[in-house]
Amino acid sequence: MNPEVIISCAVTGDDTKVTKSPHCAVTPAEIAATAIEAAKAGAAIVHIHVRDPDTGSFSMETRHYREVVKRIRESGVDVIVNLTCGMGGYIVVGDRGLADTPGPGSDFVNQEDRMRHVIDLCQEGRYRPDIATLDCGSLNFGDGNRAYVSTPNYLRQGAAILKDLKVKPELEVFDTGNLWFVKQMIKEGLLESPSLIQLCMGIPYGVPADVGHLLAMVNALPPDCNWGTFAISRMQMPWVAQSVLLGGNVRVGLEDNLYLSKGVYASNAQLVTKARTIIEAMGARVLTPAEARGRLKLG
pTM (2 d.p.): 0.95
Provide mean pLDDT across the span 180-193.
96
Cα first-last separation, the chain = 27
Measure Cα distances from 289 to 6, 112, 194, 215, 226 in Å. 8, 29, 17, 27, 15
- Dihedral sign (CA 21, 117, 251, 178): positive
Domains recognised in the chain with CATH numbers: 4-296 (3.20.20.70)
pLDDT band (50, 70, 90) for residue 141: confident
Percent of the chain residues topping a pLDDT of 70 = 98
DSSP state of 202: S
- As a whole number of angstroms, the distance between CA 149 and CA 136 comes to 9
DSSP secondary structure of 130-142 = SEEEEE-S-EE-S
pLDDT band (50, 70, 90) for residue 57: confident
Looking at residue 84, its pLDDT comes to 97
- pLDDT digit string (tens) for 188-240? 999 999 999 999 999 999 999 999 999 999 999 999 999 999 999 999 999 99
Provide mean pLDDT across the span 99-124.
96
- pLDDT digit string (tens) for 89-106? 999 999 999 999 999 989
